[in-house]
Amino acid sequence: MSYYFTILSPTDTPIFNIAFGTSKGGGDGIARFRFPDTAQYMNQFIIHSSLDILEEAQWTNGGMYLKHIDTYPPASAYISAFLTPSGARFLLLHQPPQLPSSGSSSALGASSLLGSSGSTTRASSSSVAANPTSPQTEEAVRQFMSEVYESFVKTAMSPFYKQGMEIRSPVFRSKITAAGKKWL
């Protein structure tokens, strides 16, 4: 499972980005997305496009944690979202690992960019990462999000931070990494 976590300001500008991989089940914590290295912009495209759904979901869902809101099927990327009162939004893109057997069906040029997807949801391992829409995953993401929210509030209260500014604090980054290790 690979993760791409973004905090968006109320004006849709990203103020914090981090990509990491799972540490559960022997994972080494390094993100391995299905896109080739030249196409990492796809993560941002997918996150950006899910804002459409987010804008809709935030009015129809009462909670701050909106759970899994969007999917990008060609690369089986799943988006979970969390709203903060200040208007910043946390978006987590998670992508189950690619099975070595899959990808045989799509040896086409067009699909290389989309990232080939296989029947990954039926992976054999029972870890949190295996099934992105399971309640366990939702719960783990929720824990992660609330821990991030805590750190975010502390960072945002810093007198040197203005709303909408990019978060450069290494402390914040390490806290997010730790939360990712802990929950995802």
- Paired with 91 in beta bridges are 6, 81
CA torsion sign, 143 to 179 to 184 to 164? positive
Are 76 and 86 in contact, with CB atoms under 8 Å apart? no
Task: Between 49 and 126, name the residue whose CB sits nearer to another protein.
Answer: 49
Task: Between 103 and 143, name the residue whose CB sits nearer to another protein.
Answer: 103
How many residues interact with another protein (rule CB under 8 A)? 36
The runs of H, that is alpha helices, within the chain are 41-60, 109-114, 135-156, 170-183
C-alpha angle 48-181-132 in degrees, rounded to nearest 5: 50
- For the beta carbon of residue 87, count every other beta carbon within 10 angstroms: 12
73: which DSSP letter? G
**Contact stretch for another protein (CB under 8 A) within 23-31, 101-109, 121-129, 168-176:** 101-109
Length of the chain: 184
Q: Is 48 in the site for another protein (CB under 8 A)?
A: yes
Give the up-direction half-sphere exposure of residue 121: CA atoms within 13 A in the CB hemisphere: 11
**Contact stretch for another protein (CB under 8 A) within 19-27, 47-55, 120-128, 173-181:** 47-55
Site for another protein in 49-88 (CB under 8 A): 49-52, 55-56, 58-59, 73-74, 83, 87
Task: Between 39 and 123, name the residue whose CB sits nearer to another protein.
Answer: 39
Task: Between 30 and 45, name the residue whose CB sits nearer to another protein.
Answer: 45
Binding site for another protein (CB under 8 A): 8, 10-14, 40-41, 43-52, 55-56, 58-59, 73-74, 83, 87, 89, 105-106, 108-111, 113-114, 117
